[in-house]
Amino acid sequence: MTLEIVGITVLISFLFGYVIVGSIDFGAGFFNAYSLLTGKDRILTNVIQRYLSPVWEVTNVFLVFFFVGIVGFFPSTAFYYGTVLLVPLSLSLLLLGIRGSYYAFETYGARGHKGYSFMYGAAGILLPASLSIVLTISEGGFVEMVDGQPILNYRELFMSPLTWSIVVLSIAAVLYVSAVFLTWYANEAGDREATDLLRKYALIWSLPTIITASGIIWELRAHNTEHYESLLDLWWMFALSFLLFIGTVWLLWKRKNYGLAFWLLIGQFALAFYAYGISHYPYLLYPHLTIYDGFTNTAMAAALVIAFILGFCLLIPSLFLLLRLFLFNKEYVRGRKEDEHA
Amino acid sequence: MANEEAVFFSRALTELTLSFHIIYATIGVGVPLMIMIAQWVGIQKNDEHYILLARRWARGFVITVAVGVVTGTAIGMQLSLLWPNFMELAGQVIALPLFMETFAFFFEAIFLGIYLYTWDRFDNQKKHLLLLVPVALGASFSAVFITIVNAFMNAPQGFDVMNGQLVNIQPVLAMFNPAMPTKVAHVVITAYMTAAFVLAAIAAFRLLKGSDHIYHKKALYLTMKLGLIFSIGALLIGDLSGKYLAAYQPEKLAAAEWHFETEGEAPLMLYGVLDGEEVKYAIKIPFALSILAHSNPSAEVTGLNEFPEDEIPPLYVHYLFDTMVTIGMFMILLSGLYWIGMKRNWTFIQSRWFRWLIVAGGPLTIIAIEAGWWYAEVGRQPWILHGLMRVPEAATTSGHVGTMLYLFAFLYLILGVGSVVVLTRMFRKNPVEREILDREAEKTAERQTKGGDEE
């Protein structure tokens, strides 16, 4: 395995981590705001807040890790993506800023403040949509080289059905992942009412997720034939992913084993995500940049890999502790009073 | 190739983001240590007040952390968005500490989550305090790693340039560049200093606003004492920074001191105005610049005239430097007087005007931090990578940077106002007097339900 492959595998794994924890986080914020709007906050807020509170900052680190890592391993991405993504990513940063800080303002400063809740709920749902633009751009066709500088063609980008399908998928997937997870979490907490409501949301959002995901593969046939063909070579991964999807929905429908349903969902997304990643190989940006011509020098790559391994040894036990104390701690999930924040 | 407008707005936006972020980042690095010390003192003295102090600081700290995290994410991404050519070049040599910083940040984030939600889970307070250690370490190491990147921009090393390509790259050597020791030490210790004086200002403010509770007096004494220690440390390290500059970036020191001719027995100039190359109305401290630069009153200090005109920074950095130094000195004096006064029972340190000075010390130290960073960044001009890459070559060529500047100005406005409003509300709604009573009532209730066998 070459250093290029090691680098991109680490990065895509952290991106996958961000997609999952970020989805849960953003979806939860949205459901929280929605329940305030529809007067169902009595049912949902408690469960959502208990999960979100100790982990919000960790979610953000996954994203930082990804973009610092990609510029570290592939410095040329700074040149290509840095130049073309100024506007889209600045908008993402705006949303991220509002989402992160207003979440903290509401949770630690002004519990139950409706304005703050709406602000971070709305920002959170727009955030994946804006971040997903990066994936669209990576498919190529929107960036031209003029005088050696990459230029983003906004008109093309906004007129493309691919862009909008990916936006819809990102939102649907966020709500779906989040609802499935929270159904499980609410069930663990023994909260019947919340479980039922969240289960309903999960079932509602399952269909748009799978439809847009399949639609995007089909759209790629016209947009980027090369990528489409390498996607087809990995058909078995998508087939397996689809079966896992069926499994999740079936369990939810039958009100059985929500924990397993969530793990099947992780499997479904992991298969689809990695299949997407593998088929993207070797391009970071079609057709301008591959992982080979954008790679850093060997000395830096080796240093980064060593730093990653050492960092990881520190990280895994800490993450495990966090999960054990909050996520998989029945006492905490059910809500003892002593565990209120500072 | 460089687009002047894009360069201008890229600089403006970076300056805006850094100036805003640095307030929250400095508090974020310094306050965890203060919380740790307060909780430790509380455990040692078995004094509820210090524990409560730690707890209330932690509560406020979360709000500042949140803004620090999101603005830190913004500056992290803006490095690539606004300075793509710089990141493409420098990333090959200095990506390692940037990457390590995310691990420090990760570590801090995880344990902060745990620490905040486990105040009452442990019967033994010491165990809870242990959870704070990774938070404080993570916060300080974030600062260390990020400052290493900044140090590299001032004194790049760990590579060779061959035909315009960087070769023979040594990432670890790049990290331990000559600017690194003094810069890292200066940034970290001034963060501790600032945190101490900001918290002291809050305590003094509460005392001025009618609360006479011993809690605030304890807080004030603790933070002023810590502030004194850290500000003296900052002074000593600042002196070493002067020696670093004299050796590696003499033009940066000379610009700060309006020192044109290379000469020995150089005086230190404070304030004044510039008339051509003549410094008027300045306070001159004889030999001081020679001492700052080389620890020797007769040593020769390189002047600005040794450098080509397009390689020296703008001369207004003199005022930034003076602002930083003056505030630093003032804070040493203020906290020193307070500390001696407490020992000797001088009454004036309990007076209203003296407390108002302490209150002013909070914003003043923040201003010193800003001035210090502006000096550090503007003083490096015209370089983004000293001797290798100029700022205009590094910037994006995008035509939309101006609009982004307004977008981010709007964001920082809502974050700034939001954080201040939330923090004031939070502590106004739950003053310490009430919280102390609440906690006592809770304890009594607990004791009674246990069967009252302690009676």
pLDDT of residue A54: 63
B414 touches chain A (CB under 8 A): yes
On the question of pLDDT at B2 being above 60, the answer is no
Instruction: Report which residue type is found at B222.
Output: L
Strand (E) or helix (H) holding A296:
none
At a CB cut-off of 8 Å and minimum separation 6, what does A336 contact? none
A290 pairs with which residues across the strands?
A283
Task: State how far the Cα of B414 lies from the Cα of B23, in Å rounded to an integer.
Answer: 15
As given in the structure block, the two tokens for residue B139 are 């916060």
Strand partners, B270: B283
Could you tell me the two tokens for B124?
A: 């033994």
Query: Which residue in A274, A281, A184, A288 sits closest to A237, CA to CA?
Result: A274
> Taking each helix axis from N to C terminus, what angle separates A3-38 and A56-73, rounded to the nearest 10 degrees?
150
pLDDT in tens, A173-185: 999 999 999 899 8
Query: CA of A218 to nearest chain B CA: how many angstroms apart?
Result: 32
Residue B164, Cβ density class (10 Å: 0-12 exposed, 13-18 middle, ≥19 buried): exposed
* Structural domain contains residue B329: no
Would B73 be classed as within a structural domain?
A: yes
Nearest CB among A73, A101, A147 relative to B66 is that of: A101
Q: Do A75 and B92 touch (CB under 8 A)?
A: yes
Tell me the average pLDDT across A24-34.
88
The pairs formed by B341-349 with CB atoms below 8 angstroms and a separation of 24 or more are B342/B221
pLDDT at B1: 46
* Beta strands per DSSP E along A54-158: 143-146, 149-152
Collapse the DSSP code of B279 into the 3-class scheme (helix H, G, I; strand E, B; otherwise coil) and give the result: strand
What amino acid occupies position B123? D
* Domain presence at residue B342: no
What distance in Å separates the CA atoms of residue B258 and residue B346, rounded to the nearest whole number?
41
Give the CA count within 13 Å in the CB-facing half-sphere of A261.
Answer: 27
What is d(CA A154, CA B299) in angstroms, rounded to the nearest whole number? Answer: 60
Whether pLDDT at B252 is above 80 = yes
Q: In terms of residue numbers, what domain contains B408? A: 1-179+392-455
SS3 B273: strand
Best A108, A130, A289 residue to mutate vs chain B (most B CBs within 10 Å): A108
| Spatial CA neighbour of B63 closest among B320, B419, B436, B441 | B419
Cα separation of the two ends of chain A = 47
- What is residue B121's three-state secondary structure? coil
Host H or E run for residue B160: strand B160-162
Give every CB contact of residue B324 below 8 A, 6+ residues apart in sequence.
B368, B371, B372, B375
* B86 in a structural domain: yes
Percent of chain A with pLDDT over 90: 18
Facing residue for A109 by CB, picked from B95, B103, B426:
B426
- Is pLDDT of B361 > 60? yes
Q: Answer whether residue A342 shows pLDDT above 70.
A: no
Task: Determine the residue among B71, B73, B107, B176 to mutate to test chain A binding: the one whose Cβ has the most chain A Cβ atoms within 10 Å.
Answer: B73
User: How far is the C-alpha of A294 from the C-alpha of B374, rounded, in Å?
Assistant: 34
Give chain B's domain count: 1
What is the three-class DSSP state of B450?
A: coil
Mean pLDDT of A111-119: 81
What average pLDDT does this structure show over B38-58? 90
What confidence tens digit (pLDDT) does each residue in B91-111 have? Answer: 889 989 999 998 898 888 888
Q: Where are the domains of chain A?
A: 3-217+273-312
Task: Give a yes or no: residue B58 inside a domain.
Answer: yes
Taking the CA of residue A242 as centre, how many other CA atoms within 13 Å lie in the half-sphere pointing to its CB?
A: 10
- Which of A328-332, B115-119, B237-241 has the highest mean predicted lDDT (pLDDT)? B237-241
| C-beta atoms of A75 and B66 within 8 A | no
> Which helix (H) or strand (E) element contains residue A140?
none
The reply to whether B11 falls in a domain is: yes
DSSP assignment of A64-90, as one string? HHHHHHHHHH-THHHHHHHHHTHHHHH
CA B6 to chain A, closest CA, distance in angstroms equals 11
Sequence-distant (6+) residues with CB within 8 A of A60 are: A96, A100, B69, B70, B73, B109
| Confidence tier at B417 by pLDDT (50, 70, 90) | very high
CB–CB of B98 and A318 under 8 A? no
**Residues with Cβ within 8 Å of residue B112, at least 6 apart in sequence:** A57, B62, B65, B135
pLDDT tens track for A265-312:
999 999 999 998 888 888 888 888 888 888 888 888 888 889 888 988
- The residue among B239, B370, B247, B260 whose CA lies nearest residue B312 is B260
Verify whether the Cβ–Cβ distance B120 to A60 is below 8 Å.
no
